[in-house]
Chains A and B, each alone.
Chain A
Amino acid sequence: MDLSVETVKKELETKVPGLKLRKVRDSLLIEDAKDLTRVASFLKTSPAFRLDYLSSVTGSDYLTYLESVYHLYSIEKKHGPVVLRVRAPKTTVPIPINCSTAAMGAVPATVPQQKIIAGTAKIPSLVPVYRSAELQEREVYDMFGIIFEGHPDLRRIFMWEGFEGYPLRKDYEQEDTEVLEAADIAWLDARHIAVPNELKEKAKELQAAGKRAVARKPEKPRIA
């Protein structure tokens, strides 16, 4: 069947009441994140779509808001994809601590249950509808800090518990590999490797200012 964005949008607006949808590139943006579960359940069970396979869940950072993108396919009808996206502003919300002992059942009484992390966003979890979101949402949480409400076991997956910050956010501090720091110069000098004076002066300036060589971060989104 025809799975163009316009058709899917029309179908969803007639069958699921009270939805606000917008076309963004080749995908459907669900304006209110809370509607996501309703839309996904409809697309999964509706006999016309039968999108029973959630292929990919991923996040993106557009500086003022975070986004979660879903690629849905049908194994039964062998068609797809329908791409859904949900946006959530970066806000400060309390999140429960989910250390590995908590995930295993026993939570020590001394562990505080709430922790404030700056700039997190909340989006409903799709795990109740699609199990395949389980590890992928954990990954998005780990890399972007999006809180998936209703996820059974939301903890970091690749980074360790206690790691601060979200590496794939555009505001994550990265080292500028093209600028040398004082320690790098000392290391190179000790091995008698010639370093251009220009780089040496820059390293001195950085050291005097007490700064590290941090890569420039994008100031405004080049795409939305």
Chain B
Amino acid sequence: MINTKSLEGSQMLEINFGPQHPSTHGVFRMNVFLEGEKICALKPVMGYLHRNHELIAENLPYAAVMAYTDRLDYFNSMANNFGYALAVEKLADIEAPERAAYLRVIMAELARIVNHLMLIGFLLNDLGAFFTPVLYAFREREKILDIFEEVSGSRMMCNYFRFGGVKRDVSAETLAAIKKIVAGFPAFLEEFEALLTENEILCMRCQNVGVLPADLAVNAGITGPVLRASGVNYDLRKVDAYGLYDRFDFKVPLGKKGDVYDRYYVRVLEMRESLKILEQALAKIPQGDILNKKALPFLKAPRNFKPAVGEAYGRIESPKGELGYYLVSDGTPQPWRYHVRAPSLINLTVLEDMCVGQKVADAIIILGSIDIVLGETDR
């Protein structure tokens, strides 16, 4: 664990980062071992927000769990819903109609933009650019949350997806409002990037810090923008082509070095790609049903929904990485086993590897660049 030889003649200092540290949100702790200002070991400690989401879900009918998935990664309830809906649809063999599938893609991509905006804002906060970038990001995020409120009734806990479709249809006015946001977003990104991307302080703090080699990232099961910043081309939207993602033309941005700066920049580029997907989806969205007829009876009587005995693993590219749901059905209204493969938890596997040898102040931005949400890590 700790190399005691390097400590000869100097004194090792053990400090607790968090749970009260501002960048750990009061729910995450790092046990850091320091030699001077250099980190020689780091152990993440979690569980502060643990409520056994999986046990709760195993005692509820399938449909009731949808509202609980909102609380996993509470910045992206739309993405969480998507993954769960996909897994149950696999299990029960239901498909979403065309219009609903388009609405799902639109909502998932808007959620991705919200997530990346928040991440970049708070990463800059951790760097010491206190709250100015966050407020620029929040200004744009507010517009998207207004859309979420309009379509689902809630800004953050959307609970919008249903098995075989979505909860409510979206009016033409709302679609026009989304179009307006998408059209105006590049201008904001230009402004945001002009302030940040080539900023000297940002470059000095982020470049060559927390480097994650590609082979380690693959072996440790790292997914999402963190994996792609290390130069590994693996995006489930391309690989699995779930939903309708094979119909849209978009690129998968990759980093070169895998340092904090690459992780920041990959996310900026991903927002631009999300805008491309949104433009295409908004242009092509057809009229039609928003719920599969097979799923209709279960909306009012969720306990009648009893998938056949079997199991399914549904996974999506959530903004944080691969979000997977593993379900085992025993033919009763509740799942026999329900498991969430949380990207926020698994991406923490390499936190120590990235931090060892760096300065103590860098641990904060390395943690920030992984992008964890403790609601999902601890479940």
Interface residues of chain A, those whose CB is within 8 Å of chain B, are 25-27, 52-56, 58, 60-61, 69, 71, 75, 78, 81, 83, 100, 103-105, 130-136, 139, 143, 156-160, 167-168, 172, 174, 215, 221-223
Complex interface: chain B residues within 8 A of A103 (CB): 1, 43
Closest B residue by C-beta to A163: B47
Cβ of B104 within 8 Å of any chain A Cβ, yes or no, is no
Establish whether residues B219 and A130, one from each chain, have CB atoms under 8 Å apart when the complex forms: yes
A179 to chain B, nearest CB (A): 14
* Residue from A26, A69, A158, A172 in contact with B47 in the complex, judged by beta carbons closer than 8 Å: A158
Complex interface: chain B residues within 8 A of A26 (CB): 311
Counting chain B CB atoms within 10 Å of each CB, the highest count among A83, A139, A159 belongs to A139
* Residue from A71, A104, A134, A160 in contact with B349 in the complex, judged by beta carbons closer than 8 Å: A134
Complex interface: chain A residues within 8 A of B313 (CB): 56, 71, 81, 83
Establish whether residues A25 and B55, one from each chain, have CB atoms under 8 Å apart when the complex forms: no
Complex interface: chain A residues within 8 A of B189 (CB): none
Q: Is the interface of B mostly helix, strand, loop or mixed?
A: mixed
Establish whether residues B346 and A58, one from each chain, have CB atoms under 8 Å apart when the complex forms: no
* Residue from A132, A168, A174 in contact with B219 in the complex, judged by beta carbons closer than 8 Å: A132
The 6 closest A-B pairs by CB, nearest first: A132-B221, A223-B330, A222-B330, A158-B47, A131-B220, A158-B50
Cβ of B378 within 8 Å of any chain A Cβ, yes or no, is yes
Cβ of B22 within 8 Å of any chain A Cβ, yes or no, is no
Establish whether residues A56 and B326, one from each chain, have CB atoms under 8 Å apart when the complex forms: yes
Interface residues of chain B, those whose CB is within 8 Å of chain A, are 1-2, 4, 31, 41, 43, 46-47, 50, 52, 54-55, 58-59, 216, 218-222, 232, 234, 239, 309-311, 313, 315, 322, 324, 326, 328-332, 336-337, 339, 341, 345-346, 348-350, 378-379
Known: A104-B2, A157-B46. A58 touches B326 (CB 8 A): yes
Kindly state the separation between the CA atoms of A26 and B327 in the bound complex, as whole angstroms: 13
Establish whether residues A160 and B328, one from each chain, have CB atoms under 8 Å apart when the complex forms: no
Kindly state the separation between the CA atoms of A157 and B29 in the bound complex, as whole angstroms: 12
A63 to chain B, nearest CB (A): 11
Kindly state the separation between the CA atoms of A132 and B55 in the bound complex, as whole angstroms: 23
Establish whether residues B331 and A131, one from each chain, have CB atoms under 8 Å apart when the complex forms: no
Establish whether residues B43 and A143, one from each chain, have CB atoms under 8 Å apart when the complex forms: no
Closest A residue by C-beta to B348: A135
Known: A60-B328, A223-B330. A168 touches B349 (CB 8 A): no
* Residue from A55, A131, A132, A133 in contact with B324 in the complex, judged by beta carbons closer than 8 Å: A55
Establish whether residues B345 and A105, one from each chain, have CB atoms under 8 Å apart when the complex forms: no
Could you write out 18 A-B pairs with CB less than 8 Å apart? A27-B311, A58-B341, A71-B324, A100-B43, A103-B1, A131-B219, A131-B221, A132-B219, A132-B221, A134-B349, A135-B349, A139-B345, A143-B54, A159-B47, A168-B55, A174-B55, A223-B329, A223-B330
Establish whether residues A75 and B1, one from each chain, have CB atoms under 8 Å apart when the complex forms: no
Kindly state the separation between the CA atoms of A75 and B328 in the bound complex, as whole angstroms: 26
A193 to chain B, nearest CB (A): 25
Establish whether residues B219 and A52, one from each chain, have CB atoms under 8 Å apart when the complex forms: yes
Known: A83-B313, A135-B345, A167-B52. A53 touches B221 (CB 8 A): yes
Complex interface: chain B residues within 8 A of A81 (CB): 313
Complex interface: chain A residues within 8 A of B345 (CB): 135-136, 139
16 more contacts with CB within 8 A, not counting A55-B324, A60-B337, A71-B324, are A52-B219, A54-B221, A56-B326, A58-B337, A105-B2, A131-B216, A131-B220, A132-B221, A133-B221, A134-B349, A135-B346, A135-B348, A136-B346, A174-B59, A222-B331, A223-B329
Complex interface: chain B residues within 8 A of A25 (CB): 310-311
A17 to chain B, nearest CB (A): 26
B272 to chain A, nearest CB (A): 24
Establish whether residues A55 and B378, one from each chain, have CB atoms under 8 Å apart when the complex forms: no
Kindly state the separation between the CA atoms of A223 and B311 in the bound complex, as whole angstroms: 11
B44 to chain A, nearest CB (A): 9
Kindly state the separation between the CA atoms of A90 and B345 in the bound complex, as whole angstroms: 28
B96 to chain A, nearest CB (A): 22
A26 to chain B, nearest CB (A): 7
Kindly state the separation between the CA atoms of A54 and B222 in the bound complex, as whole angstroms: 10
Establish whether residues A159 and B2, one from each chain, have CB atoms under 8 Å apart when the complex forms: no
Complex interface: chain B residues within 8 A of A55 (CB): 221, 315, 322, 324, 341
A29 to chain B, nearest CB (A): 13
Kindly state the separation between the CA atoms of A77 and B251 in the bound complex, as whole angstroms: 19
Kindly state the separation between the CA atoms of A130 and B232 in the bound complex, as whole angstroms: 17
Kindly state the separation between the CA atoms of A75 and B1 in the bound complex, as whole angstroms: 30
Counting chain A CB atoms within 10 Å of each CB, the highest count among B43, B220, B339 belongs to B339
